Amino acid sequence: MIKFKANTKLFETGMIVASHAAMQGTVEGAKVAIEHFKNDALTVPPKCPYEKGWMHDHHVTEVTVLGSKVKATLSVVDTPYAASLHEGISRWNTPYVYKTPGTGMKWIESKALRFKNMYLRDALGRFTTRLKLALEVMR
Amino acid sequence: MSLVQDIATYIAAKSSFVIDTDLFIGAETVDTPSGSIVVKEFAGSTENESGLEERAIQILASDRGYVNAETLINVVYPLLANKSGFVSDDLTGIFFVGVSSMPGFVDRDASGHFVFSCSLIFKKE
């Protein structure tokens, strides 16, 4: 009788390292992508209606991890008029006039539509780099 | 015709809205009446990997009553959202209409109207 005994310890360790690296890469990728998104919202036309000030400074990014789920959020906090301005609705004058050139409504949503693939590449880039590094270490 | 004009014509044909009366193209007028719809394009239109244009369109509904405004946008939204294969002459060439944001209340405007908004992505050849 021939007995074959395989030692899978190295494989198991590799899988643990890879899964940790995958999570780390996903979180880092999400952070890079959401920061890029925020920067575009503030600087690429149509950009945030005010180039400096309260609303400009209250664009906040957050990456949360819940179990195996990673969520990246960009929100404008403590600014009750942000939603109206974003949708092009004014409470002071109808229709609202964006006075500063290059600024306009939908300064966030327009970037999500136009650059969504770029943000995905940002996230995937960081994810694959992390995974490659982890596998290099295991060699 | 321009896309927003085509969309407005389509909405007018499928509902009781009348262009330039309670259905406006491009922007709200200074004296936009209560109970009206506005169809406009916003920044963010792009071309996807399949070579289709993805045009970003916003639909606004405003009324002095909250529920009325919500009802108005819910008349227009189902006419377009997640639909494909338009056979109408007005919307020929539209492959699919995706949803970027579903109808939701935004704010009250200067006239005191409750305003609901939704964003749609028209995938067009």
pLDDT in tens, A30-40: 999 999 999 99
Q: Name the token pair of B94.
A: 């539209």
Asked if residues A51 and A100 have their Cβ atoms less than 8 Å apart, the reply is yes
Spans of chain B, pLDDT less than 50: none
What sign has the CA pseudo-torsion A16, A18, A27, A71? negative
| Residues of chain A contacting residue B32, judged by C-beta atoms under 8 Å apart | 94
| Residues of chain B contacting residue A109, judged by C-beta atoms under 8 Å apart | 42, 44, 56, 100-101, 119
Interchain pair B58, A106: CB under 8 A? yes
Chain A touched by B45 (CB under 8 Å): yes
Spans of chain A, pLDDT less than 50: none
Interchain pair A94, B101: CB under 8 A? no
pLDDT value at residue A94: 62
Residue where the block lists tokens 């005010």: A50
pLDDT value at residue A92: 64
Q: Could you give the CA distance from residue A101 to residue A86 in angstroms, rounded to a whole number?
A: 16
Residue where the block lists tokens 């395989």: A6
Query: What's CA A119's distance to the chain center, in Å?
Result: 7
Residue where the block lists tokens 């056979």: B87
pLDDT value at residue B46: 87
Q: Name the token pair of A120.
A: 């995905």
* DSSP class of B30: T
**CB within 8 Å of chain A, chain B residues 49-68:** 54, 56, 58, 60
Residue pLDDT, tens place only, B44-53 = 888 888 888 9
ipTM surpassing 0.85, yes or no?
no
Q: Map residue B11 onto helix, strand or coil.
A: helix
Residue pLDDT, tens place only, A65-80 = 998 899 999 999 999 8
pLDDT value at residue A93: 57
Asked if residues A21 and A127 have their Cβ atoms less than 8 Å apart, the reply is no
Chain A touched by B121 (CB under 8 Å): yes
| pTM of the predicted structure, to 2 decimals | 0.83
